[in-house]
Amino acid sequence: MTSTPEAGPPRRVAIVGTGLIGCSIGLAAARAGLEVAGYDADEGAATGAARAGLTVAGSLEAALEGSELVVVATPIEAVCDVVVAALGRAPAAVVTDVASVKSSIVRAVAARGAPLDRFVPGHPMGGSERSGPEHASASLVDGIAWALAPTPATAPASRALVEAFVRALGARPVELDPERHDRLVAVVSHLPQVASTALMDLAAAEEADEPELLVLAAGGFRDLTRLAASSPGLWSAILLANREEVARAIDRYVEGLVRLRDDVARGDAARVEATFASAKAARLGLAAKPQVRAGVAVVQVPIPDRPGALAQLTGGLAERGVNIEDLQIVHSPEGGSGLVQVIVAATAGDAALEALLERGFDPVRLA
Amino acid sequence: MTSTPEAGPPRRVAIVGTGLIGCSIGLAAARAGLEVAGYDADEGAATGAARAGLTVAGSLEAALEGSELVVVATPIEAVCDVVVAALGRAPAAVVTDVASVKSSIVRAVAARGAPLDRFVPGHPMGGSERSGPEHASASLVDGIAWALAPTPATAPASRALVEAFVRALGARPVELDPERHDRLVAVVSHLPQVASTALMDLAAAEEADEPELLVLAAGGFRDLTRLAASSPGLWSAILLANREEVARAIDRYVEGLVRLRDDVARGDAARVEATFASAKAARLGLAAKPQVRAGVAVVQVPIPDRPGALAQLTGGLAERGVNIEDLQIVHSPEGGSGLVQVIVAATAGDAALEALLERGFDPVRLA
């Protein structure tokens, strides 16, 4: 039971729910050479996904027909119903979902008497503050961690199929049980959302009395509040579905804030500095973790602050046919150049390095 | 007393303290055609600044000699002493500082009996989680808000000189009294630092028990914790110098977090969603505020996800001699392209638009 059979990815995949995440997964599956059929009950989402390049079926039945894997990417409130329906209507297929919470979904699906052996709860740890298929991109899943949280009843063959699917898409499967998943994402995903929203909300309230407040907001404030632009309905549903763990994470966060507040108010420089020093060490450790971006290569390049510098860099990569997945000017968040990080597919890392060296740059591969 | 005489920028400027901020200001002043002399008591900082292209004097006296403006950019603990010294040793010069806190510095300088008429407390609202002259860049000050917090005793001519200096550097002066400055930056600058540090610290503590925690950290967590990599000593000193306002900002933040926590724990979807919706509206309003980026033009361009797309974009700008100050791929923080925001000097905005249209792009000027 514990051995994982070797398996290839499914040949045909149905994507039910073609919003930002579903459509991106579908595009990544098509990019990987798999046959894909999307379906969305919402006509706008279906049309948007078709416009984004996804093959969209006219009905749920047509999407499920012949699919070995069904990816349920609906809003979280609908996930249980759609998983149960897919397990029933596609009796040979494995079903996975992408919801940000796992225990409550597993409990709900089990309570409906659905066959758990073919259900592999999943959660790709990527996304964006945007939503909708018009912002979808295959590269959304490149190199991301993709949590798989099988139930004790999930069959090893089902697990292996979804694992192979995740790898085929260029993401990295991380297996952990549903309860542990919910505990960890409460800290690294749900709490950041809450922290960002609460900060933006406070600033908006203070701005009512102090109209110049946001004029003073620089890059740091913007970084911290980017997530606050996320979909309110989506996040309300996620937080409520993981309420115990989210409440516990906020409690611990508040404890830390109050401790730091008291140290500041008391003027205890040594303790404040120690807290900042340990956070700094942890953050630098995070930046250096290459496994967080497995599947991609990160190349860092110093560039001069003058017209044409970036053009030379990107031109050199284009000449070699290297697609730039992401590009960040890292040193001065409020403008200017200095150091540029170029992110390309891992398979293109060497070509990127060579192309940049040829053009006279001094690239360093970070991951 | 309230009229502001017309004034040009100073011809010669001394920069005392040539770390990240001081060196960047010096480079921006030189770029604006001003004569600049830097000085740092720390030999490493002085050497680093010289290497970054700043003219560095051998002594404080040599730097002050003939300077109409002295910019004090030392660590906050030394600001009062250096301001008092500069006011005394350069009896014809106006003195400004760049510390993140203003009231306590004004009180300390006044208590030393220094001539406040020539002192214009300042605070450029830019920076980076990095430090040291090796990360300095003139473009760090491009388009940023630069708070000026004159005391009641500051002479209008002194204020006008510093205002002209700030404008000459490409930044945007925002005048407000020292107490109000400290209240506002506690919310938009000091609190984000605390929120980021506390989040990273919590995650690091939890990771001790859950080694997979940070493997699951995606773009949102990274955004929120970037500031946590800032200098512990610098930030400890800043927070303690503004302790009452920082404590008050943390208190209000904690109130908001606890309210949201209780709404989540109680399962009150309507209230959670309402909080997220108001934060989202405020964040979108922030992104749309053109005055936040005065001095720069922001041009948004859809680009296809294929090799060479960015090269065409940057190549078109290079052909016209347009320097790219910053570039962000905005849609998918975890990789991929889609929409690109290009930030250029405001004066280059039209040329950038034309260049992109010529190359067949569909640019929109956001600000």
Interface pTM, i.e. ipTM? 0.77
Question: Chain A residue with minimal CA distance to B352?
Answer: A307
| pLDDT value of residue A287 | 60
Q: Do B220 and A143 touch (CB under 8 A)?
A: no
φ, ψ (nearest 5 deg) of residue A59: -150, 160
Say which residue the tokens 């990273």 belong to. Answer: B200
Please give the pLDDT value at position A30.
96
For the segment B75-105, what is each residue's pLDDT rounded down to a tens digit?
Answer: 999 999 999 999 999 999 999 999 999 999 9
Instruction: Decide: pTM greater than 0.80.
Output: no
Residue B340: exposed, middle, or buried by beta-carbon count in 10 A (0-12, 13-18, 19+)?
A: buried
Instruction: Enumerate residues 83 to 142 of chain A having a beta carbon within 8 A of any beta carbon in chain B.
Output: 125-130, 135, 137-142
Q: What is the pLDDT of residue B340?
A: 77
**Chain B environment of A287 (Cβ under 8 Å):** 229
Asked if A329's CB is within 8 angstroms of B235's CB, the reply is no
CA distance A95 to chain B (A): 22
CB A172 within 8 A of CB A144: yes
Q: Which one has a higher pLDDT value, A200 or B333?
A: A200
Report d(CA B367, CA B362) in Å as an integer: 16
Mean pLDDT by 10 residues, chain A (367 residues): 64 97 96 97 95 96 97 96 97 97 96 97 82 84 90 97 95 93 95 97 90 84 88 93 97 98 98 94 68 60 75 86 72 47 81 88 77
For the CA atoms of A224, A227, A232, A236, the dihedral, rounded to the nearest 10 degrees, stands at -80
Instruction: Answer with the residue of higher pLDDT: A266 or B302.
Output: A266
A287 interface with B at CB cutoff 8 Å = yes
What is the CATH topology of the domain spanning B12-176? Rossmann fold (3.40.50)
- Burial pattern A298-333, b for ≥16 Cβ within 10 A else e, equals bbbbebebebbbbbbbbbbbbeeebbbbbbbbbbbb
Summary mean pLDDT of chain B: 88
Among all chains, which residue has been given the structure tokens 């309860």? A179
- Name the residue among A75, A90, A103, A105 with its Cα closest to residue A37: A90
pLDDT tens track for B171-229: 889 999 999 999 999 999 999 999 999 999 999 999 888 888 888 888 789 889 989 98
Q: Measured on CA atoms in the order B152, B156, B157, B161, is the torsion positive or negative?
A: positive
In a mutagenesis test of the A interface, which of B216, B230, B319 is the best target, namely the one with the most A β-carbons within 10 Å? B216
**B329 closest CB neighbour out of A264, A296, A327:** A327
User: Any idea which fold A295-365 has?
Assistant: Alpha-Beta Plaits (3.30.70)
CA–CA dist B71, A273 (Å, integer): 27
The CATH 3.40.50.720 portion of chain B extends over 12-176
Residue range A182-287 forms a domain whose CATH class is mainly alpha
CA distances from B339 to A129, A197, A221, B353, B361 (A): 14, 24, 22, 15, 11
- ∠ CA(A148), CA(A149), CA(A152), 5° rounding? 135
* pLDDT score recorded for residue A289: 46
Chain A positions in Cβ-Cβ contact with residue B214 (cut-off 8 Å): 188, 285-286, 289, 292
Range(s) of chain B covered by CATH 1.10.3660.10:
182-287
The pLDDT value recorded for residue B305 is 65
Residue type, A289: K
Strands A339-345 and A326-329: antiparallel
CA distance A244 to A144: 26
Segments of chain A assigned to CATH 3.30.70.260: 295-365
Interface touch B335/A282, C-beta < 8 Å: no
